[in-house]
Amino acid sequence: MSGQTPAPGEPQPTGLPLVHRGKVRSLYDAGDGNLLLVASDRISAFDVVMAEPIPDKGRILTAMSAFWFDELADVASTHLVSTSIDDFPPGAQLPELVGRASLCRRAEMLPVECIVRGYLAGTAWKEYRQSGTVHGQSMPEGLRESERLSEPVFTPSIKAEVGEHDENIGFDEAVALIGPELAEAARDISLALYERGAALAAERGIIIADTKFELGLIDGALVVADEVLTPDSSRFWSADTWQPGSTPPAFDKQPLRDWLDGLDWDKTPPPPALPQDVVDSTRARYLEAYERITGRAFSEWPGGTPA
C-alpha cells in the first residue's frame, strides 16, 4: 500500500508505508511501534467523499484532538506522542504536514465504537420514535427530539464495511465481542470522557449532544485513540439555539449536508461539485467550534490561518 497515490486534499510523507487510508485520515508506519496519523482536508457526506477539500479542516481536527487529549489526560491515557514535526521521522518532516499530523503509539483497536449520547438526536431519535428505545435500551415515554437525557447513555456500534453505515448494537453484544471486563472498562471510560468534555464545552456555550470514541489497547492498557470530541466525531450545538422538539444547527458539515439535501442527487458517487460558498461556510463552522471550545485562536496553531 505504500506506493498508493495521495488522495486529493492530503499531503503524503515520503518513505513511510501506508497502513490504512480512511475517508478523512491516513495512517503510516512511523517505525518503533508508532504510527503517523495524517488528517486531510477531505470531507464526506452520506458516506461519499466530496471532490473539493475544506481548507484547514485537517489542521482544525488535529488541533482540537490535541486540546482534548491534554484536557482529559487524567481521565484516560491516549495514543498521542507528539504533534510537532520535529518529533516525526525524517520523511514526515514536511511543511505541508505541519499542524495536521500526529505521531501516535500503535494500539490494538477495539472492534467496538464507543458512542455516548447525552441528548436524543440522530439515529437514537429515529429509533426512539419507532420503539421507545435507544440501542435497545428502554427510555422514558414522552421525550422530544434533541431533549437532554436524564443521564448520558453508552450506545456502542460496530464499524461497517466501506460505503455502509455503522451498525448500532446493545451492551450485551459488545460484551460478546470483547468480553465483560473490557466492555465495562470501555463504557466507564467513555462516559467519564463525555461528562468531563460536555461540562467544559458547556462553560463555553456549546452542547455536546453525542460523541464517538475510538479505544484501543497498548501494552494491555485501554487508551483513547484517533480523534476526540471533534466536529467529525461529535454533534455540537450552540446552547442558545437549543430547544427540545427541534433540531438545532450543528457545528460540523451541516451546511454541506443541507446543500446536498436540496439537490436531485442519489447520494452515490460521483458527488456534485461544491460551490465556493458551501466550502467557505463549512470551514467557518469547523473553525468556530474549535475557537469557541478551546478558547484559542486557530491562527496560533502550527500552520493555522486566520478566519
Alpha helix ranges (H) inside the chain: 57-71, 122-131, 171-178, 180-203, 254-261, 276-294
Angle (nearest 5°) at CA 21 between 20 and 25: 115
What are the CA-CA distances from residue 214 to residues 41, 60, 179, 235 (Å)?
20, 19, 17, 16
60: pLDDT strictly greater than 90: yes
- What's the rounded mean pLDDT across residues 175-180? 96
Q: Is residue 298 part of a domain?
A: no
**pLDDT at res. 7:** 56
Identify the domain boundary among 106, 133, 158.
106
Q: Is residue 293 part of a domain?
A: no
Measured between its terminal Cα atoms, the distance across the chain in Å is 36
Q: Is residue 119 located within the same domain as residue 88?
A: no
Q: Is residue 80 located within the same domain as residue 121?
A: no
2: pLDDT strictly greater than 70: no
DSSP character string of 146-182: TPEEEEEEE--EEPPPTTS--EE--HHHHHHHH-HHH
243-263 burial: b if 16+ Cβ within 10 Å, else e: eeeeebebbbbbbbeebbeee
Q: Is 193 exposed, middle or buried (CB count within 10 Å of its CB: 0-12, 13-18, 19+)?
A: buried
pTM assigned to the model: 0.92
- What confidence tens digit (pLDDT) does each residue in 216-234 have? 999 999 999 999 999 999 9
Q: Is residue 121 located within the same domain as residue 183?
A: yes
Q: What is the largest CA-CA distance in the chain?
A: 58
**pLDDT at res. 15:** 92
Q: Is 3 exposed, middle or buried (CB count within 10 Å of its CB: 0-12, 13-18, 19+)?
A: exposed
CATH number of the domain within which 89 lies: 3.30.200.20
User: Who wins on pLDDT, 184 or 136?
Assistant: 184
CATH number of the domain within which 199 lies: 3.30.470.20
Question: What is the C-alpha to C-alpha distance for residues 88 and 29, in angstroms, rounded to an integer?
Answer: 11
**pLDDT at res. 306:** 75
Q: Is residue 96 located within the same domain as residue 145?
A: no
Identify the domain boundary among 87, 106, 125.
106
Number of domains in the chain: 2
- What confidence tens digit (pLDDT) does each residue in 67-126 have? 999 999 999 999 999 999 999 999 999 999 999 999 999 999 999 999 999 999 988 999
Q: Is residue 244 part of a domain?
A: yes
Q: Is residue 80 located within the same domain as residue 141?
A: no
Cell matching residue 261? 439535501
- What confidence tens digit (pLDDT) does each residue in 239-267 have? 999 999 998 988 888 889 889 989 999 99
Cell matching residue 35? 504510527
Length of the chain: 307
Question: What is the C-alpha to C-alpha distance for residues 20 and 288, in angstroms, rounded to an integer?
Answer: 30
Query: Is residue 113 within 8 Å of residue 166, measured between CB atoms?
Result: yes
Q: Is residue 114 located within the same domain as residue 238?
A: yes
Q: Is residue 55 located within the same domain as residue 168?
A: no
Identify the domain boundary among 80, 106, 132.
106
Residue 4 — very low, low, confident or very high, per pLDDT cuts 50/70/90? very low
Looking at every residue in the chain, the average pLDDT score rounds to 92
- What's the rounded mean pLDDT across residues 170-186? 96
Q: Is residue 168 located within the same domain as residue 196?
A: yes
Q: Is residue 235 located within the same domain as residue 135?
A: yes
Q: Is residue 189 part of a domain?
A: yes
Q: Is residue 70 part of a domain?
A: yes
**pLDDT at res. 11:** 80
Cell matching residue 230? 471533534
Q: Is residue 136 located within the same domain as residue 246?
A: yes
Q: Among candidates 102, 293, 69, 106, which has minimal Cα distance to 193?
A: 69
Q: Is residue 137 part of a domain?
A: yes
The range of the structural domain enclosing residue 25 comes to 1-106
Q: Is residue 225 located within the same domain as residue 147?
A: yes
Q: Is residue 179 part of a domain?
A: yes
DSSP character string of 106-136: --EE-SEEEEEEEE--HHHHHHHHHHSEETT
Q: Is residue 81 located within the same domain as residue 138?
A: no
Question: What is the C-alpha to C-alpha distance for residues 174 and 183, in angstroms, rounded to an integer?
Answer: 6
Question: What is the C-alpha to C-alpha distance for residues 287 and 56, in angstroms, rounded to an integer?
Answer: 9
Q: Is residue 50 part of a domain?
A: yes
